[in-house]
C-alpha cells in the first residue's frame, strides 16, 4: 500500500521518508519537494518566490500533480513525500507531520542542503516558514479547494518536535501495520512539551486516558485532565476537538 507523507517546512518529511525506505522492502520515494526546489534553483528563485510564480501559472503545478497521480495509479509501493500526495493518491496511508515553529526554524536554518533557502539568522527562517505556510495554504485552497490544516485529511498526525527520526519512523511503521489490519480511526501524537495548559482543564467526569486538545495558532492546548503525568520527553496520543 502506498504511503503519503505531508507536513510543514522543517517537520522532517524527507528524513522520515528516508528512514522508512530502509525498512520497507521494495518501496521507492517520490519527492515533490525535491522537484519543486530543483525547479526553483533553475530559475534562481527561492522556493517561496517560486510558489508565488506558480499561483499565476498553473502549468507546472498541473504537471507535477499529474506525475504524482500517475505514480499512485501505477503501483502500490511508493512513499510520496508531497504536501498534496494524500489528495492525489487517495488509496494510501496518509501521514501529516508538524512541529513547533521554533524547532522547525532551527532545523531549516541548520540544513545546508537547501541551497536556495539559506538564512542569515534563525528568525529569518521562522519568517520564511510562516510565509511559505500561508502561500501554500492559499494556493492549494484556490487550486483544489482543500485545506491542508484540516486534520481529517490524514490517518496519522505526528508532532516531530522532540523525538528522533528513528522514533518517529518506528511509530509510523507500527501505526501503518495496525491501519492495514484493523478498523483505524485517525490518530494524533503530540510531543509532551508541545502540550500547553492555557486554561484550567475541565475536571467534570472521569480522567481521560487519551486527553482532549484543541489545535490553535500552531499550538496544542490541553482541555482535559489526564490519568497520569504527561511524559515531557515522549509522544502523547491525543484527541483533537474541533470548535
Q: HEC string of the chain?
A: CEEEEEECCCCCHHHHHHHHHCCCCCCEEEEHHHHHHHHHHHCCCCHHHHHHHHHHCCHHHHHHHHHHHHHHHHCCCEEEECCCHHHHCCCEEEEEEECCHHHHHHHHHCCCCCCCCCCCCHHHHHHHHHHHHHHHHHHHHHHHCCCCCCHHHCCEEEECCCCCHHHHHHHHHHHHHHHHHCCCCCEEEEEHHHEECCCCCCCCCCCECCCEEEEECCEEEECCCECCCCCCCCEEEEEECCC
Are both 143 and 198 inside the same structural domain? no
Using the 3D structure, point to which of 145, 165, 185 is the last residue of a domain.
185
Are both 34 and 123 inside the same structural domain? yes
Are both 194 and 157 inside the same structural domain? no
Domain tally, the chain: 2
19-44 tens-digit pLDDT: 999 999 999 999 877 777 777 888 88
**60 neighbors 54 (Cβ within 8 angstroms):** yes
Q: 243: pLDDT confidence band, cut at 50, 70 and 90?
A: low
Model confidence at 49: pLDDT above 90: no
pLDDT higher at 239 or 205: 239
Tell me, yes or no, whether 242 lies in a domain: no
Q: What is the mean pLDDT of residues 213-234?
A: 80
Res 118: pLDDT: 64
Tell me, yes or no, whether 207 lies in a domain: yes
pLDDT higher at 236 or 60: 236
Are both 124 and 65 inside the same structural domain? yes
Using the 3D structure, point to which of 170, 185, 200 is the last residue of a domain.
185
Are both 181 and 201 inside the same structural domain? no
172-222 tens-digit pLDDT: 999 999 999 877 889 999 999 998 875 544 555 555 578 899 998 888 998
Tell me, yes or no, whether 62 lies in a domain: yes
Res 114: pLDDT: 54
**104 neighbors 9 (Cβ within 8 angstroms):** yes
Res 115: pLDDT: 45
Res 158: pLDDT: 98
Are both 162 and 201 inside the same structural domain? no
Are both 215 and 122 inside the same structural domain? no
Residue linked to cell 512513499? 79
- Percent of the chain whose pLDDT exceeds 70: 90
Are both 33 and 134 inside the same structural domain? yes
- The CATH number of the domain holding residue 70 is 3.40.50.300
Are both 180 and 212 inside the same structural domain? no
- The CA distance from 39 to 12, in Å, is 21
Range of the domain at 217: 190-237
87-136 tens-digit pLDDT: 999 999 999 999 998 998 888 887 655 544 567 788 888 888 888 888 88
- Percent of the chain whose pLDDT exceeds 90: 42
Are both 32 and 140 inside the same structural domain? yes
Amino acid at each position: 500500500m502506498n504511503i503519503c507523507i505531508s507536513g510543514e517546512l522543517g517537520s522532517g518529511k524527507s528524513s522520515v521518508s528516508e528512514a522508512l525506505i530502509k525498512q520497507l522492502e521494495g518501496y521507492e520515494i517520490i519527492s515533490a519537494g525535491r522537484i519543486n526546489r530543483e525547479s526553483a534553483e533553475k530559475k534562481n528563485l527561492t522556493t517561496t518566490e517560486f510558489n508565488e510564480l506558480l499561483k499565476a501559472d498553473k502549468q507546472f503545478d498541473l504537471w507535477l500533480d499529474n506525475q504524482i497521480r500517475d505514480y499512485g495509479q501505477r503501483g502500490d509501493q511508493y512513499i510520496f513525500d508531497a504536501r498534496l500526495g494524500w489528495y492525489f493518491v487517495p488509496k494510501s496511508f496518509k501521514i501529516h507531520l508538524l512541529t513547533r515553529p521554533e524547532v522547525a526554524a532551527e532545523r531549516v536554518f541548520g540544513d545546508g542542503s537547501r541551497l536556495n533557502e539559506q538564512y542569515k539568522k534563525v528568525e529569518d527562517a521562522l519568517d520564511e516558514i510562516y510565509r511559505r505556510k500561508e502561500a501554500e495554504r492559499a494556493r492549494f485552497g484556490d487550486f483544489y479547494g482543500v485545506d491542508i490544516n484540516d486534520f481529517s485529511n490524514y490517518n496519522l498526525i505526528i508532532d516531530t518536535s522532540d523525538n528522533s527520526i528513528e522514533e518517529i519512523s518506528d511509530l509510523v511503521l507500527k501505526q501503518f501495520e495496525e491501519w492495514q489490519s484493523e478498523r483505524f480511526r485517525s490518530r494524533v501524537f503530540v510531543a509532551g512539551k508541545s502540550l500547553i495548559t492555557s486554561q484550567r482543564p475541565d475536571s467534570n467526569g472521569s480522567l481521560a486516558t487519551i486527553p482532549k486538545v484543541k489545535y490553535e495558532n500552531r499550538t496544542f492546548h490541553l482541555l482535559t485532565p489526564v490519568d497520569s503525568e504527561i511524559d515531557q520527553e515522549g509522544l502523547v496520543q491525543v484527541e483533537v476537538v474541533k470548535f
